[in-house]
Amino acid sequence: MTTFRAYRINKNDDGIVAGFEQMAVDDLTEGNVVIKVSHSTINYKDALAATGAAPILRRYPLNGGIDLAGVVESSEDSELQPGMPVLVNGCGLSETADGGYAEYARVDSSSVVPIPDGMSPVEAMQIGTAGYTAALAIHRMEQNGQRPENGPIVVTGATGGVGSVAIDMLEGRGYEAVAVTGKADAEAYLKRIGARRVLLRDDIDFGKRPMEKAEWAGAIDNLGGDYLAWLTRTTDYGGNIASIGLAASPELHTTVVPFILRAVCLLGINSVDTPDDLRRAVWQRIGSDLKPQHLDAIGNRVISFDELPGAFDAYIEGKVTGRTVVEISE
């Protein structure tokens, strides 16, 4: 190996510029494990970074891609042997370190997760950070007493990557999953992957009182803003709301009343800085009791590395349903 191809994001006086470049391993950010990357994926965060729609990178230049799957090429950690199938998600990829949009990556061994038994690299990236975030939310909610018998779980932003995998996982665990979407034509897709009911965002009555009629035993929210405030007002006693995203707004205008009178719990979900032992434990659950059953519907788009630059705009415009896998190398 002399040089390899990478999709690199940089910044100049005119803004963000991104494109393919040739690199060597020694050019990569530091780490004690080199991975030959076979697959990555596209998350909304990746699209924001590559287009400059939001300031995701904390240093420049960096290779894009917050997910990667492949095999260990070389390692200074005896637990990670050459040829071992592995994945990395979050952990500063494409924020402070070179990410998965490259034929090779160099990372710290603490961020590397062995791909669960019976899972392929393609499946690992169909799940990716989005699915890991959904699983982490469910894991945290269940640690806090969430159970299927408590009642329905509502998922906002349901056609996105996190929302889609969350619905699939919830259904597999026996929960009644209710999907909230702005896409009127998505009902068949959402019911196929496990939603019992589908609510259109435009049909929601947010209400104005500190507490409205209790409808949900819990929630997974990808939107923030008015939608998260609505969830605080309509979640039943002891329910957990997992706050994952801010696609609608980073602001939250609510009162403490639901937290006091209904004991509603607001759980912040950070999939980037998860402690290593928790990250590996959640991925083991993804390979077992939280394994998605509808990846053929959720992650049915596979694109080549060459097609990557043209794929980001659809994410920014909110036109993507489910997940996209990127074939980086054979």
Closest CA to 237 of 259, 255, 263: 263
* 12 has pLDDT over 90: yes
> Model-level pTM?
0.92
- Residue type for 30, please? E
**pLDDT tier at 194 (50, 70, 90 boundaries)?**
very high
* 196 has pLDDT over 90: yes
Neighbours of 182 (CB within 10 A): 15
* 330 has pLDDT over 80: no
Topology classification of domain 129-268: Rossmann fold (3.40.50)
Parse the chain into domains and list their residue ranges: 4-115+300-327, 129-268
Q: How much of the chain, in percent, has pLDDT values that exceed 90?
A: 93
CATH number assigned to the domain covering 4-115+300-327: 3.90.180.10
* 270 has pLDDT over 80: yes
Q: What pLDDT, on a 0 to 100 scale, did the predictor assign at position 234?
A: 98
Q: What pLDDT, on a 0 to 100 scale, did the predictor assign at position 91?
A: 93
Mean pLDDT value of segment 262-277? 95
Neighbours of 252 (CB within 10 A): 15
**pLDDT tier at 120 (50, 70, 90 boundaries)?**
very high
* 106 has pLDDT over 90: yes
| SS3 track for the chain | CCCEEEEEEEEECCEEEEEEEEECHHHCCCCCEEEEEEEEECCHHHHHHHHCCCCCCCCCCEECCCEEEEEEEEECCCCCCCCCEEEEECCCECCCECCCCECEEEECHHHCEECCCCCCHHHHHHHHHHHHHHHHHHHHHHHCCCCHHHCCEEECCCCCHHHHHHHHHHHHCCCCEEEEECCHHHHHHHHHCCCCEEEEHHHCCCCCCCCCCCCEEEEEECCEHHHHHHHHHHEEEEEEEEECCCCCECCCCCCCHHHHHCCCEEEECCCCCCCHHHHHHHHHHHCCCCCCCCHHHHCCEEEEHHHHHHHHHHHHCCCCCCCEEEECCC
Closest CA to 69 of 99, 97, 38: 38
Long-range contacts of 13-16 (CB under 8 A, 24+ apart): 15/52, 16/50, 16/51, 16/52
Do the domains 4-115+300-327 and 129-268 sit in the same CATH topology, yes or no? no
* 10 has pLDDT over 70: yes
In angstroms, the CA 199 to CA 253 distance is: 22
In angstroms, the CA 256 to CA 232 distance is: 9
Burial 268-305 (b: 16+ CB within 10 A, else e): ebebeebeeeebeebbebbbeebbbebbebbbebbeeb
* 248 has pLDDT over 70: yes
Q: What pLDDT, on a 0 to 100 scale, did the predictor assign at position 325?
A: 97
